[in-house]
Amino acid sequence: MLVSTQTQLLGTSYGDAEAIRMLHEAGFPAYDFTMQKMLSKEPDEPLNADNYVEYAKGLRALADELGIVCNQAHAPFTTGKKDQREIFDKIVRSMEVASILGAKIIVVHPIQHLPYEENVEELYKMNMEFYKSLIPYCEKFQIKVALENMWQGVNKSYHIVHSTCSRPEEFCRYLDDLDSEWFVACLDIGHVAVVGESVERTIRVLGTKRLQALHVHDNNLCDDLHTLPYTRNINWDLTLKALQEIGYEGDFTFEADRFLRFLPEPLIPHGLKFMLETGRYMASQIEKKVTK
Q: What is the mean pLDDT of residues 266-284?
A: 98
Q: What is the mean pLDDT of residues 80-104?
A: 96
Q: What is the mean pLDDT of residues 73-91?
A: 94
pTM of this structure: 0.97
Task: Output the pLDDT for position 292.
Answer: 55
Q: Is 121 a domain residue?
A: yes
Per-residue pLDDT tens digits for 102-127: 999 999 999 999 999 999 999 999 99
Task: Output the pLDDT for position 117.
Answer: 95
Q: What is the mean pLDDT of residues 37-49?
A: 93
Tell me: pLDDT of 12 over 70. Answer: yes
Q: Is 64 a domain residue?
A: yes
- Displacement of CA 142 from its chain's centroid (Å): 18
Task: Domain count for the chain, please give it.
Answer: 1
Higher local confidence (pLDDT), 157 or 219? 219
End-to-end Cα distance, the chain:
23
Task: Output the pLDDT for position 156.
Answer: 63
CATH at 79: 3.20.20.150
Task: Output the pLDDT for position 291.
Answer: 63
Sorting pLDDT into bands at 50, 70 and 90, what band is 159?
Answer: confident
- What are the start-end ranges of the E strands in 75-177? 105-107, 144-148, 151-154, 159-162
Rounded distance between C-alpha atoms, residue 246 and residue 209, angstroms: 9
Tell me: pLDDT of 242 over 80. Answer: yes
Nearby residues of 41 by Cβ (< 8 Å), 6 or more positions away: none
The answer to whether 75 touches 108, Cβ cutoff 8 Å, is yes
Question: What percentage of residues in the chain have a pLDDT greater than 90?
Answer: 93
Poorest-confidence range of 6-15, 47-56, 154-163, 210-219?
154-163
Sorting pLDDT into bands at 50, 70 and 90, what band is 100?
Answer: very high
Domain that residue 268 falls in: 3-287
Q: Is 57 a domain residue?
A: yes
Q: What is the mean pLDDT of residues 177-190?
A: 98
Task: Output the pLDDT for position 102.
Answer: 98
Q: Is 292 a domain residue?
A: no
Task: Output the pLDDT for position 43.
Answer: 87
Q: What is the mean pLDDT of residues 196-200?
A: 98
Q: What amino acid occupies position 199?
A: V
The residues that bridge with 186 in the sheet, in sequence order, are 148, 213
CA nearest neighbour of 279 among 32, 71, 34, 4: 4
